[in-house]
Amino acid sequence: MAGLTTGGPNVDVSLLYAINGLSRHVPNGLGRALGLVGEYGILLALVLLVLWCWRGARRQDETTAAESFAALVWAPLGAGIALLVNVPLRGFVGRPRPFLQHTGLEVLEPGLSTTDFSFVSDHSTLAMALGVGLFIANRRLGFIGIGLALLEGLFRVYMGVHYPTDVIGGFALGTAVVLLFAPLAMALLTPVVRAVARSPRAGRLVRAKDRPLAQPVGLAPTPPTAPRERDLAA
């Protein structure tokens, strides 16, 4: 399978040249900056988005906060599992990097190892897994995360280090792993997170300090206890 999409002109290679060719119209300084964005910047933005979602989730009620926190824990775990799945997949396909098969590409990551296979894209897999995991926790921020993941895939082709189908494969892999295992992961993580939420110290990871715990079902809220009057006769 090492000869995937390298046997001649095709849509995959045509898109590669079309997208990568845009880099020739960008000044060198800006081109290097865009390379850093595609290598590190977008992934960092996704991590910050997950942290921002966590900040908001802590201000929800106990049940919702626990579910959101469990989903936010699952997002990086699912991304890690997807990357592990990709290790044997890349070796099985054995697809060389595009700049090793095609001439005239502008490679914006000169330090890339030439022995590293191309299919599927680790960056695209990781970005989409984080975006979909974020979507499970928060729909609005999840759409932003998925948008950033799509942008990451575009950057990987623009940088000349992946074919478009490498990116599409990464999107599919990241999405499949996170969604397929989400029910099991949430079933395992949510009870643990609820237990953590009731801890005096660790509970602040799940819920903000000023948020009261939810009352047990069927019980009325406990009224505040009036302060005792000092015994003046003592």
CB 172, CB 124: distance < 8 Å: no
pLDDT band at 234 (very low <50, low <70, confident <90, very high): very low
Q: Is the pLDDT assigned to residue 185 strictly greater than 80?
A: yes
The values of phi and psi at residue 3, to 5°, are -90, 15
The runs of H, that is alpha helices, within the chain are: 11-20, 28-36, 42-57, 62-93, 98-101, 122-137, 139-158, 164-197
pLDDT tens digits for range 212-225 = 444 444 444 445 44
How confident is the model at residue 80, as a pLDDT? 95
pLDDT tens digits for range 35-94 = 889 889 999 999 999 999 888 777 776 677 778 888 889 999 999 999 999 999 988 888
How confident is the model at residue 113, as a pLDDT? 59
**Mean pLDDT over residues 120-131, rounded?**
94
- For the entire predicted model, the pTM comes to 0.80
Percent of the chain with pLDDT over 90: 42
Q: Is the pLDDT assigned to residue 150 strictly greater than 60?
A: yes
CB 161, CB 105: distance < 8 Å: no
Q: Is the pLDDT assigned to residue 129 strictly greater than 80?
A: yes
Count of beta carbons in the 10 Å neighbourhood of residue 95: 24
